[in-house]
Chain A
Amino acid sequence: MKNAIVSLLAVLFGLIAGALLMAVTGSNPVAGYTYLFEGGLKSIERIGNTLATATPLIFTGLSVAFAFRTGLFNIGASGQMLFGGFCATFVGLTLDLPKAILVPVVIVVGFVAGALWAFLPGLLKAKFNVHEVVSTIMLNWTAYWVVYNVVPAYLKGSYETESRPLPPNAQLRMGWLSDLFGGSYINLGIFLGVLAVIAIAFIIDRTTLGYEMKAVGFNRHAAEFAGMAVDRNIVLAMVISGGLAGLGGVAQYMGNAINIQIGHLPTQGFDGIAVALLGANNPYGVLLAAIFFGLLYSGRGYMNAMVGIPPEISDTIIAIIIYFAATSILIERLISRLLRKRREKRDANAESGRA
């Protein structure tokens, strides 16, 4: 409950800061926000696009949140997303199978590839205590260069800088779904995303696996003492986290877009950190935060077109929200102190009542 309040307050502060920024640079915040939200919600097509934009964020948010529960910082969601999406695209462009088979196949490939990319940092952390922040960043750039070289060499599309477009049987897009949302690029990804949220929530709360991971994240010494295989849990957490990010890549490059571009580390990876933080590392919180961020991103083009406010305002607002969420301890302390004062008063009354 406390977490929800903190997150909402952070959002509020971020939006206020954004308004200030708009005003200071000579634009009208009210108009700005109106067009921003309209851009994401005004028509059924726009709603579809908002959900689709949110989908990779759901996955990267889950990815970071899941790793964080075990005490790990997965800053490598970008690279894992890129590599997962890349491998899935490769398979999608190479294998020719009916859609009902190919799509599940590429989804699995995306998960496995992302998982693999996170496996190494997990192993290095478990065995050598190499800090995962640095190792995942190194792998981010490795993924970047691998894609940079392999795509033009084997998957080249009409430009040097992107791959061929995916054939329909490899895409996550479904005709009836796009039609339902007025031609939007919404795709199966969103359903996958929601399923992932439910699955992860289940794992964390109800299974022995979740119990172990949380224990390791809270206090690895106690976990060790109790006989849990800490190393295995660390690696497993990274692997699942990487797989989730990989699915984000599948959603992005085989649903939202239908090809993959080089020279670009997907920002959704870092945004995933923001989503996880705002969602307080809770799967359902992540879902809500991802949709909110999706809205900020999908509406900004319209806002830019209507009132000329640079689209980077969305990035800025998100970043500021994160800063407030990171410094949420201030809000937390205030709330804690209020609650405690109330409890002390209640206890004191009870004491004096008894005496």
Chain B
Amino acid sequence: MWQLISGIFPYAILYTIPLLITALGGLFSERSGIVNIGLEGLMVIGMFSCAFTIIQLQSVMPNLALWIGLLAGVAAGMLFSLLHAFASINLSANQVISGTAINMMAGAITVFLARNITGSGNIRIQRGFTPNEVPVLSDIPILGKLFFTNAYVTTLVILLILLLSSFVLYKTPFGLRLRACGENPQAAEAAGINVRRMRYIGVLISGAFAALGGAVIIVTYSGEFNGSAAGLGFLALAALIFGQWRPFGVLGATFFFGFASTVANVSQVIPELKVIPPVILQTFPYVVTLIALIIFSKSSQAPRAAGEPFDSGKR
């Protein structure tokens, strides 16, 4: 049993981390008041930009190329998210539709460009990050074996971002103001806060984080851009609701998904799990999400003003 768990864990974490950072992006956006359905598309943008950058540089500077690729992904994500920000904030467009447009555009443009470059619509990088032992931490009993023996450096980066996010959100003036914009933008405006600017920042962060999530997938377990994020962007949205818009809640939710999906993937290879019909394990995360949504429906902590266009000066 222990073998099973410790064997699965690294993969579960691998799957969790991109989901986590994407969901955190969604958190910042929604906390500022803008619903961002386009996380899926932003992940794809990140995947494409990262893969594209890496193949340009990988022969010249193999290690640095990966980091530059990640940064390229982040930059592209932020740029692309401006489309959603502009539509939702300046034009008061319907945020769900705008987000859907982002998804469609991202999927289409990236494959179009990829085809122009490689002819096939897929971009494969030579090598990504390799998992390593983290010094000192891997000697911790139990936890060390589970979390720090087969760890990717990107995992640590993302976890650091998580801690930073929680700190910024709850302890800094910026976080206080951001949350105010998502709960009662009229109150924030009366307090002298520039609600539009805050919301732009929220959406830009979501663009950066979601793209980073996609990029991390490329440099850790996938290695190939193929035009799709397999629904992870939407799963991140579900995780956001599941985690009740709190950073550590989102951590728990995404880890749950990561673990469940990994179990589903490896179930055929593991004798104890082979008896369960694969369809149950494959649909398990989705079904459980539905149940969680029902349970949380009554006490939802969703930011009150999320999804409503901000009408400056409205009383």
A319, B98: Cβ atoms closer than 8 Å: no
Stretch at the interface among A30-38, A108-116, A141-149, A250-258: A141-149
Docked-complex contact B231 and A137, CB < 8 angstroms: yes
Please name all residues of chain A whose beta carbon is closer than 8 Å to the beta carbon of B104 when the two chains form the complex.
270, 274, 315, 318-319, 322
List chain A residues, Cβ under 8 A from B101.
319, 322-323, 326
Bound form: Cα–Cα A273–B297 in Å:
26
In the bound complex, how far is the Cα of B297 from the Cα of A277, in angstroms? Answer: 29
Report the separation of the CA atoms of residues A327 and B279 in the bound assembly, to the nearest whole angstrom. 40
A101 at the interface (CB under 8 A from B): no
Could you tell me the distance between the alpha carbons of A29 and B282 in the complex, rounded to whole angstroms? 44
Selected contact of A138 from candidates B94, B97, B238, B282, CB within 8 Å: B238
B5 → chain A, closest Cβ, in Å? Answer: 24
Residue B121 at the A interface, CB < 8 A?
yes
Q: A145-B279, A316-B109 are in contact. Are A134 and B83 (CB under 8 A)?
A: no
Q: Is B112 part of the contact surface with A, judged by Cβ < 8 Å? A: yes
> Chain A nearest CB: distance from B193 CB in Å?
24
Which one of B144-152, B165-173, B288-296 contacts A? B288-296
Inter-chain CA distance A139–B231, complex, in Å, is: 12
Inter-chain CA distance A146–B287, complex, in Å, is 13
Contact of B108 among A134, A145, A315, A327 (CB under 8 A): A315
Residues of chain A within 8 A of B237, CB atoms compared: 133-134, 137
With A25-B113, A142-B286, A326-B93 as known contacts, state yes or no: A133 contacts B279, CB within 8 Å.
Answer: no
Contact bitstring A293-327, B, C-beta under 8 A = 1, else 0: 00000000000000000101101101110110011
Contact B287 A138 (CB under 8 A): yes
Which chain B residues numbered 96 to 138 have a C-beta less than 8 Å away from chain A?
Answer: 96-98, 100-105, 107-109, 111-113, 115-116, 121
**B37: Cβ under 8 A from any A Cβ:** yes
**A313-B94 in contact given A141-B283, A142-B286, A320-B105 (Cβ < 8 Å):** no
Residues of A within 8 A of B87 (CB): 323, 326-327
A45 to chain B, nearest CB (A): 27
Beta-carbon contacts under 8 Å, B163-213 to A: none
Partner among B97, B112, B289 whose Cβ is within 8 Å of the Cβ of A21: B112
Interface flag for B62 (CB, 8 Å): no
B28 CB to nearest A CB, Å: 18
Q: Which residues of chain B are within 8 angstroms of A26 by Cβ–Cβ distance?
A: 116
| Interface size bracket, B side | 35 or more
Q: Are A133 and B96 in contact (CB under 8 A)?
A: yes
Say whether B116 contacts A310, CB under 8 Å. yes
Q: Is the CB of B108 within 8 A of A326?
A: no
- Give A326 to B98 CA distance when docked, in angstroms: 6
B234 within 8 A of A: yes
B100, B115, B234, B241: the one contacting A310 at CB < 8 Å is B115
Contact of A315 (CB < 8 Å), options: B107, B231, B286 = B107
Q: How far is the CA of A318 from the CA of B103 in the complex (A)?
A: 12
Closest residue of chain B to A332 (Cβ to Cβ) is B91
Given contacts A73-B96, A138-B286, whether A149 and B277 have CB atoms under 8 Å apart is: yes
- For residue B252, CB closer than 8 A to chain A, the reply is no
Smallest Cβ distance from A235 to chain B, in angstroms?
Answer: 15
Q: Mark B233-244, 1 if CB is under 8 A from A, else 0.
A: 010011001000
CB distance from B73 to the nearest CB of A (A): 20
The chain B residue sitting closest to A324, CB to CB, is: B101
Q: Is B92 an interface residue (CB 8 A)?
A: yes
Contact with A along B12-35 (1 / 0, CB 8 A): 000000000000000000000000
Write the chain A residue with the least CB distance to B104. A319
Bits for B79-90, please: 1 = Cβ < 8 Å to A, else 0: 000010011000
Cα distance, A273 to B93, chains bound together (Å): 15
Known: A131-B293, A323-B98, A326-B100. 14 other contacts (CB 8 A): A128-B297, A133-B37, A134-B289, A134-B293, A138-B286, A138-B287, A270-B104, A319-B104, A322-B97, A322-B105, A323-B83, A323-B87, A328-B93, A329-B92
* Shortest Cβ-Cβ A-B pairs, 3 listed: A315-B108, A319-B104, A310-B115
29 A-B contact pairs sorted by A residue (CB < 8 Å): A128-B293, A130-B293, A130-B294, A131-B293, A134-B234, A134-B289, A135-B293, A138-B286, A139-B290, A140-B231, A141-B283, A142-B283, A145-B279, A146-B283, A148-B282, A270-B100, A274-B104, A310-B111, A312-B108, A312-B109, A316-B105, A318-B104, A319-B104, A323-B83, A326-B100, A327-B87, A327-B91, A327-B98, A329-B93
Residues of chain A whose beta carbon lies under 8 Å from any beta carbon of chain B:
21, 25-26, 73, 75, 120, 124, 128-131, 133-135, 137-142, 145-146, 148-150, 270, 273-274, 277, 310, 312-313, 315-316, 318-320, 322-323, 326-330
